[in-house]
Amino acid sequence: MSLIVHKYGGTSVGSVERIKAVAEKIVAKHRAGDKIVVAVSAMSGETNRLIGLAKAIHEEPNLREMDVLVSTGEQVTIALLCMALEAAGVSARSYTGSQVRILTDDAHGKARIKEIDSHRIHSDLDAGRVVVVAGFQGADDAGNITTLGRGGSDTTAVALAAALKADECQIYTDVDGVYTTDPRVVADARRLDKITFEEMLEMASQGSKILQIRSVEFAGKYNVPLRVMSSFEDGPGTLISLEDDDQMEKPVVSGIAFNRDEAKLTIRGIPDQPGVAYKVLGAISEANIEIDVIVQNVAKDNSATITFTVHRNDLARASKLLEQIAADLGAEEVASDDRIVKVSIVGVGMRSHAGVAATMFEALAAEGINIQLITTSEIKITVVIEERYLELAVRSLHSAFGLEQ
Amino acid sequence: MSLIVHKYGGTSVGSVERIKAVAEKIVAKHRAGDKIVVAVSAMSGETNRLIGLAKAIHEEPNLREMDVLVSTGEQVTIALLCMALEAAGVSARSYTGSQVRILTDDAHGKARIKEIDSHRIHSDLDAGRVVVVAGFQGADDAGNITTLGRGGSDTTAVALAAALKADECQIYTDVDGVYTTDPRVVADARRLDKITFEEMLEMASQGSKILQIRSVEFAGKYNVPLRVMSSFEDGPGTLISLEDDDQMEKPVVSGIAFNRDEAKLTIRGIPDQPGVAYKVLGAISEANIEIDVIVQNVAKDNSATITFTVHRNDLARASKLLEQIAADLGAEEVASDDRIVKVSIVGVGMRSHAGVAATMFEALAAEGINIQLITTSEIKITVVIEERYLELAVRSLHSAFGLEQ
């Protein structure tokens, strides 16, 4: 008998009909002998409806009250799903985050889970019940309702799986697994049977939006096998787990991720002295602008050039700030470009294979694609290129690394 | 400095605009120096929307889950109202029933309050905050969410006032007070400045729907002065409190209540023996049919006649049951009539005034209205008459007891 945590997102429980369909899926697995704990999101659209009400009252609503408000979304889903399970003949019980209790810190809207009391859940499972837990929420020491931030239901599911020592955490989504790259860009993109936590983390942080980064980190930290599956079709999905040492032939590259949401900023001709990078990037970070790729080079004249990317929505603000910093430092020039994209190849096999970067650059060169920036990590190589070459680049890399096979 | 509990119903908080208006009202009173605790209902329509979702999943949804579901309605309101209070510059904090904690028994859907922990509320009030509490809900010993049944927000407000030893509990509604009778029936019906708990209880149980009966009982039991006021206009409303012994001139009759929702059943020619009333009415009660007026008479031949009223929705079922009982007892006849109404005059002054009944019967006789049943209590006389005479009866009684002055 396995203990499995399921997680269903907003689209999967977006209507009464879909909730009934989810209940049927759960009942079938329950009857097959699994002990099942389910984490659910709010019905799709509900969180936005609630935020809309709040914004109509106050531009910047009180964060504590915002959590009281939006946490009702998942509370509605847990009750409806339990009713549907009972209608299908399976005994079920719902718990809000506070009821479980999922103890978090008090950072409203972006709380972190500190501890989960698994006592009530275990005794319900032992009594033959399916347990349904509201995702995305918890309570702090004082009993105030907190939320983990949007998309936090994945994290709830993984944290529950870790606390309950579950055999697997299954994330049901609108896709049937993790693909080598976006099938909308590359027609012969292939579903991966397995991928490591590290690879998934790099894929996610590079723009693949199937799973929340925090939930993958969490799963890796507590070694919770994670499986991405379709809510609507049967299939094995993609298993995300620790690196499997028995696997003789590791693929060099597992997947290709890309991101169209970023813009590039460059500051040139700054004196190459210690502390310069901090002066430039510290000021940007302090303005709460998230910086992604960072590349620093030194020119012939010993002046430094720093290039970095930010979200396109932050470009105007970052650009203004950078002009000011440039004036303060006596830098030569500031340039910005929002017609760029980031493309990454990801694979644990890179660690033991030489020549991966060369293959990548060769494939791009063959298509006449100019590389503006390069950064590398142990299991990832990222390039920034002109936006119009995105599809061409992804397709040529997909084929260069044989991902369609 | 007074401690006042306010209660706003679903219509008063039915939209973002209304919530803002309620916040302004509260802020004005807070600035004037009152310590304020607010109990609120779900936004109008929300509870029905949630029930609709549940019914689409299961005809008879699990009661525990139903409470998890519908309790989100008030949770949305408390968050939005706190945001609106903060927007208006007043510090506020919301609490669900579980958070307060309002401890109830475990009768889901119709729970009764056992205890209220006033600790957190008092410390918030001392810190200058307005406290907003979700009406209609609590939690049982095990932390399961419970609801007090529909309209239970009035009860929450009164229970909070009792627990906090508040100076007054103000129920804000869509009417500006308690009237001598329904102004839609009698144009010169008059708002009452004061009324006693007992009178209000009789008015409520006779069909006046301004306040929930349980909340009035509760207020009387703990002697919490209750004031019915308008959410939309300023005004003193109607104060409901203990009988005021200083008041020299008590009005004989305070108000006239009526009820069009009942139907009458009669069983004739049953042997007048001990236990007969029980045999008849016990069987009806056991079928979960609520019985209101009961009258028993003995005819010349020593056979008994029992007449009673039930809700019109229960008439068919009650009638069928009664036929069976009549057969068992060897009774002569069963008759039913759903074209009747109940009209009551209510007033604590009746205790010390003779001739009130005579005045009532005289007024009805003068209009040619036949009285079918009469029952009396210490502060109330109820008659059942033909439905078509309802308006005429109420108007003539209103005038006969000088209520328009």
pLDDT per residue over B173-214, tens digit each?
A: 888 999 999 988 999 999 999 999 999 988 876 666 778 888
**pTM for the complete prediction?**
0.82
Cross-chain Cβ contact B83/A50 below 8 Å? no
Residue A245 pLDDT class (50, 70, 90 cuts): low
- Is B8 part of any known ligand binding site? yes
Query: CA of B147, closest CA in chain A: separation in Å?
Result: 14
CATH class of the B3-174 domain in this structure: alpha beta
Does A368 appear as a known binding residue?
no
Mean pLDDT of chain B: 91
With 90 as the cut, is the pLDDT of residue A349 above it?
no
Instruction: Note the pLDDT of residue B61.
Output: 94
Rounded to the nearest angstrom, the minimum Cα separation between B60 and chain A is 9
Model confidence at A167: pLDDT above 90: yes
B9 is in an annotated binding site: yes
Calculate what percentage of chain A has a pLDDT beyond 70.
Answer: 97
- Report the gap between the CA of A150 and the closest CA in chain B (Å): 18
pLDDT recorded at residue A378: 83
Long-range contacts of A178-181 (CB under 8 A, 24+ apart): A178/A203, A178/A208, A178/A210, A178/A228, A178/A238, A178/A240, A178/A255, A179/A255, A180/A254, A180/A255, A180/A256, A180/A398, A180/A403, A180/A404, A181/A255, A181/A256, A181/A257, A181/A258, A181/A394, A181/A398, A181/A403
Candidates A57, A144, A145; nearest CB to B80: A57
Residue range B42-96, pLDDT digits in tens: 999 999 999 999 999 999 999 999 999 999 999 999 999 999 999 999 999 999 9
Least CA distance to B145: which residue of chain A? A99
- Partners of A68 on chain B (C-beta within 8 Å) are 75, 78-79, 82, 94, 96
Q: Is the pLDDT of residue B247 over 60?
A: no
Instruction: Tell me what pLDDT residue B244 has.
Output: 67
Q: How many angstroms separate the CA of residue B103 from the nearest CA in chain A?
A: 15
pLDDT the model gives residue A208: 64
Q: How many angstroms away from the CA of A317 is the closest CA of chain B? A: 27
> Could you say which of A65, A86, A143 has the minimum Cβ distance to residue B62?
A86
Does residue B248 register a pLDDT over 60?
A: no
Query: Is B245 marked as binding a ligand?
Result: no
Residue A247 has pLDDT above 90, yes or no: no
**Strand (E) or helix (H) holding B377:** strand B373-377
- Mapped onto helix, strand or coil, the DSSP state of residue A171 is strand
What count of CB pairs under 8 Å joins A to B? Answer: 114
Burial of A5 (0-12, 13-18, 19+ CB in 10 A): buried
For residues A370 and A386, the answer to whether their CB atoms sit within 8 Å is yes
A8 carries a ligand binding annotation: yes
* Beta partners for residue A6, in sequence order: A38, A170
Among the listed residues A352, A125, A368, A343, the one whose alpha carbon sits nearest the alpha carbon of residue A249: A352
Contact B84 A54 (CB under 8 A): no
DSSP run (H or E) holding B251 = none
pLDDT at A326: 92
The whole-number pLDDT of residue A144 equals 97
B141 marked as binding residue = no
B143–A99 C-beta distance less than 8 A:
yes
Strand partners, B102: B116
pLDDT tier, A298 (very low <50, low <70, confident <90, very high otherwise): confident
- Is B286 annotated in a binding site? The answer is no
pLDDT score of A248 more than 60: no
Q: Which residue of A has its CA nearest to B143?
A: A99
Across the interface, whether the CB atoms of A75 and B76 are under 8 A apart is answered no
Task: Find chain B residues with C-beta within 8 A of A75's C-beta.
Answer: 68-69, 71-72, 75
Contacts of A66 in chain B (CB under 8 A): 79, 83
pLDDT band of residue A271 (cuts 50, 70, 90) is: confident
Nearest chain A CA: its distance from B93 CA (Å): 8
> Chain A residue closest to B18 (CA)?
A57
**Inter-chain residue contact A20 with B57, CB threshold 8 Å:** yes
- Residue A70: closest CA among chain B residues belongs to which residue? B76
